[in-house]
Amino acid sequence: MINEVTMNIWSDTVALSRMQFALTAIFHMLWPVLTTGMGIYLVVVEGLWLKTRNPDYYHHARFWAKLYVLNFGIGVASGLPMEFQFGTNWAPFSEAVGDFFGSILGFEGAMAFMLEAGFLGIMLFGWGRVHPVIHYLSTIMVAFGANLSTFWILVANSWLQAPAGGEMVNGKFIVNDYFQAILNPFMLISVSHMFFATLETSLFVIGGISAWYILNKRHTEFFARSLKIAIAVAIAVTPLQIYIGHLSAEQVAHYQPTKLAAMEAKWETSPAGQPADWSLVALPNNKLEQNVWEISIPNGLGYILEFKKNLSEPVLGLKEWQPNDRPKMVGLVYYSFRIMSGIGFFLAGLMGISVIQWLRGQLSPVAIANQTWLLRTWLLAAPLGYVAVESGWIVRCVGRQPWVVYGQIRTADGVSNLPAGEVLTSLLIFAGIYTTLFICAMFFGSRIIRQGPNLNLLVPGIENQPAVEIEPAEFIPDQRPVEAQQ
């Protein structure tokens, strides 16, 4: 039985095209997550440098830009197949939704990618060629472009989740109102959730790498600065992200009941006006249509969805739909959702503890190196944002199945006319190339980190200052961190 299923997958164009899309999307997502979030960080440190003229901020901008550009290159490379495989592998889908979905991808190219690419050269290599203000504008444009790209991609994806602004006529989606389609019900919250996801992931990457340097007693004061910037921004970002995540789940409950049922591995419907259990760990079985094994929290579901014991609306179970009308990979959606939310709470908790230690003065340049466990936890947290982002996308897109456009077009109806052998070949080549790229990126990334910041780089504008007295004496106390004065 298992053999038969396995055989089918390798000769099934739909399954192979889905695997190829999943592989290329999951791999691609790893890189822009950092470049969009870190872009904002680069804007912040360069702004601080222009304001304070403290060379440390300049060196921060230069050091993190090295990791930035490594990510950027792989993001560009792995982004190309994303732009073209809607046509290569999903031609009927492309034809049916091109009027809206294709236009949005076009906007992304014109507004976001080009802006990012057009100013990246100046941001990376233009330090000595343009006025600092022009350079700063370029850095802002690069960050702005990256975040615009988040916006348009999430507009397009939200529309797949909650198609609005038109209707299906003869297998083609006819748009009546483009702005209604852009402002589809999922748009605002999805864009915010992703914006904060990239920012949060980047903050914990920057904080984690900074913690590594402090643990290794390298440039302690320099990296205490970036760690503190990360903590300071995380104070707002981590709780807000949990709240937006909650809003997002409420929307799923309202618009995509099949996805919510899969996220909760819920087979039977819970009626309104009664409490329901919330499943904590389970072993869902799609064939038997039940969880073979489960630990649940009594009356938990009402509290999680509505902050009260009794449900005010029924929560539908998967068995309300025919097996062909609901997601098949229930376990994957169920665990991805738990991993994502668990990481969200863990990172918020880490932020809380870090803030307490900061307030207690334990993060001053003298004391920070003794915070071994806190720093180790930050190091551990560096990759967690990525895991949460990928899990979130799995919930979002695997949970949407069997639909590619929710309730309108089935994934299986959107696939191109292709022999399975060719798709399998391209899938295997992608797997090979992406594995190589991932290993190389880790290798070169850790090499950049081991080398550390180059503090000997000439700071632009320094030649205009008097050569003898580099800094007036009375400014020195001002640059001491606040804790040292307490």
Partner 1 sequence: MENLEHFLTQVWFVILALFLFLYVMLDGFDLGVGILSLTSSNEERRSILMTSLGNVWDANETWLVLMGGALFGAFPLAYGTILNALYIPIFGMIFGLIFRAVAFEFREHSSNKAFWNVAFGVGSFMAALFQGFALGSVLEGIVVDEAGHFAGSIWDWLDWRSLVVALTLIQGYVLIGSTYLILKTEGELQNTHYRTAKLAAITTLIGAVLITVLTPVVYENARAKLFHPPEIYIFALIPVLGVVLIGLLLRSLNQKAEASPLVWTILLFLLTFVGLGLVVFPYIIPPSITIYQAAAAPSALVFMIIFIGFLIPIMLFYNIYNYIVFRGKVVSESYGES
Closer residue to partner 1 (CB): 377 or 408 = 408
CB of 49 to partner 1, least distance (A): 17
CB of 81 to partner 1, least distance (A): 5
CB of 13 to partner 1, least distance (A): 11
Rounded distance between C-alpha atoms, residue 35 and residue 198, angstroms: 8
CB of 124 to partner 1, least distance (A): 7
Closer residue to partner 1 (CB): 77 or 380 = 77
Contact 438, 27 (CB under 8 A): yes
Closer residue to partner 1 (CB): 30 or 203 = 30
Closer residue to partner 1 (CB): 49 or 100 = 100
Closer residue to partner 1 (CB): 138 or 251 = 138
> What Rg, from alpha-carbon coordinates, does the chain have?
25
CB of 147 to partner 1, least distance (A): 17
Q: What are the backbone dihedrals phi and psi of residue 282, each rounded to the nearest 5 degrees, phi first?
A: -155, 165
The neighbouring-strand residues paired with 282 are 294
CB of 376 to partner 1, least distance (A): 27
Contact 298, 284 (CB under 8 A): no
Closer residue to partner 1 (CB): 89 or 258 = 89
CB of 31 to partner 1, least distance (A): 11
Asked if the peptide bond before residue 402 counts as cis, ω within 30 degrees of 0, the response is yes
The neighbouring-strand residues paired with 247 are none
Rounded distance between C-alpha atoms, residue 81 and residue 22, angstroms: 12
Closer residue to partner 1 (CB): 181 or 382 = 181
Closer residue to partner 1 (CB): 209 or 350 = 209
Closer residue to partner 1 (CB): 310 or 446 = 446
CB of 105 to partner 1, least distance (A): 4
**Which residues have C-beta within 8 Å of that of residue 251, sequence separation ≥ 6?**
162, 185, 186, 189
CB of 171 to partner 1, least distance (A): 10
CB of 165 to partner 1, least distance (A): 11
CB of 33 to partner 1, least distance (A): 17
